[in-house]
Amino acid sequence: MDMVSELYVLTHWSGLFHRPDRADFHCLHIDLQAALSIEYPLVHFGAAFGRAKYCMSTEVLNVLTSSRLVCLFVVLMAVAGTAQAEDPVFLPRAHSHNDYMRPHPLLDALNAGFCSVEADIYLVNGELLVAHDRDKVKPGGTLQKMYLDPLRERAKQNSGRIYPNGPSVILLIDFKESPAILWPALRDVLQQYEDMLTVFTDETVDERAVTVIISGTSPRAQLKQEPRRLAAIDGRLPDLANPPSPKLVPLVSNSWTPVFKWMGTGPMPEAERAKLKEYIDKAHANGQKIRFWGAPNRLEVWEEFYTLGIDLLNADNPAQMREFLVNKMNQEKAR
């Protein structure tokens, strides 16, 4: 059997042990599948292992290393060491927009190194279900099963972090219904995951593996009255004029098109660049991150956002955003 055929077998084996609720089983399989379509599969399989080895459990490693492909596995891990040294494991500025619409929600984003993911929720029959529209909710598609449980599992594997030695990962939860309905239910759920969630008070922020930020029709008034919180609020551009505490509103997000006309064709007008830079500077001066949704998914737009200092870059294609950010970070490292 030649090398590529062996790789196909290894990919198939990783699929046999895939469990949708486990990032450690899943991330290896997806990366290996993708690598088979690349011209030089050995190098890219090595890169796949380089990322996946950080989230593989002992159980998965035992399956691979006890197989007849142990020699190939060792070779791939050696190549992975080189690939991983070149590519950052995590990308602090990558945000998975509408993450739940991916083929593999959360897991695709984590496998690409994203440090921010987004989930829309509805309360249906007492359960917090994840979907963009209420008529698209699916039984069993709960916030716990799709996001909180796999994040907790990964935090346990990585000594309290989603990525080894990485930053806190943002879970942006978009309220699609009244906060009077959703917040009591979400608060009860979050209390079950307190061990991994960032804790906010009016004076302090105890950063942990996952930071929950509520967007949409957020329960700002309710949270403001709570002295100890397991979630914070996603603000809007008007908040920059009279900034709330970043311990309550650590992130400011806004739709792109009501504020800017540039859609990535031709140079960005200087007046719009200056206005955008002003928003960014105000947010940073107040200790807040800033993000825009609805901007074109174009390289030209990402270039401007990255250069000007937008903290979270929306991505609808995690692989493309990863390639862009890795290239930018490697360019900066080489200077």
E strands within 131-209?
Answer: 169-175, 199-200, 205-206
In the predicted structure, residue 7 carries a pLDDT above the cut 80: no
Give CA–CA dist 314/246, Å, rounded.
21
Give CA–CA dist 128/132, Å, rounded.
13
Average pLDDT over residues 165-175: 97
Give CA–CA dist 251/249, Å, rounded.
6
Give residues with Cβ within 8 angstroms of 279, minimum separation 6: 237, 240, 290
Residue 122: count of CB within 10 angstroms of its CB: 20
SS3 state at 263: coil
Query: Among 73-77, 187-191, 217-221, whose mean pLDDT is lowest?
Result: 73-77
Give me the pLDDT at residue 72, please: 54
Give residues with Cβ within 8 angstroms of 147, minimum separation 6: 105, 106, 117, 119, 130, 171
Average pLDDT over residues 143-152: 98
In the predicted structure, residue 62 carries a pLDDT above the cut 70: no
Higher pLDDT, 174 or 8: 174
pTM over 0.95: no
Give me the pLDDT at residue 6, please: 47
Domain boundaries, the chain: 3-86, 91-334
Q: Which amino acid is at 180?
A: A
pLDDT digits (tens, 9 = 90+) for 268-305: 999 999 999 999 999 999 999 999 999 999 999 999 99
Residue 171: count of CB within 10 angstroms of its CB: 26
Q: What is the CATH number of domain 91-334?
A: 3.20.20.190
pLDDT digits (tens, 9 = 90+) for 88-109: 589 999 999 988 888 899 999 9
Give me the pLDDT at residue 45, please: 46
User: What is the chain's length?
Assistant: 335
Q: Extract the tokens encoding 268.
A: 């960005």
In the predicted structure, residue 153 carries a pLDDT above the cut 90: yes
Average pLDDT over residues 224-232: 97
Give me the pLDDT at residue 147, please: 97
Yes or no: say if 230 and 197 are a contact pair by the CB < 8 Å rule.
Answer: yes
Residue 333: count of CB within 10 angstroms of its CB: 9
Give me the pLDDT at residue 251, please: 98
Residue with tokens 């200077």: 335
Tell me phi and psi for residue 98, to 5 degrees: 45, 50
